[in-house]
Amino acid sequence: MGMNTCPACAAAEQDPRTGLFTHGCRECTARNLAQSPAAHRALTGQGADDLRALIVETWGQADYLDGRTRVWAWVERLQKGK
């Protein structure tokens, strides 16, 4: 699933902090990780190792950059509130 087909992603387009997530949707997973304590620690300079590990665990080493890009895009969007 993705932004065009997932109802939770459609809701997140209107409000990124919607709280709705669809299991198996990579964008929902990225948005969830972007709101995690690990992302907060990475964002505030307390270390990014936990977030890296979560991204590798979720996307796998081969797709790490895709996962990282998606998570940080949501971090930035959540920071802006849109």
Each residue of 19-45: pLDDT tens digit? Answer: 899 999 999 999 999 999 999 999 899
The total number of structural domains that make up the chain: 1
Domain membership of residue 30 as a residue range: 7-80
Please, which pLDDT band fits residue 4 given cuts at 50, 70 and 90?
low
Distance CA 41, CA 39 (A): 5
In a domain, 2, yes or no: no
Whether the predicted model's global pTM rises above the 0.75 cut: yes
On whether residue 1 sits in a domain, the answer given is: no
Interatomic CA distance for residues 31 and 17, integer angstroms: 9
- If phi over 0 gives left and psi between -120 and 50 gives alpha, with beta otherwise, what is residue 20? beta
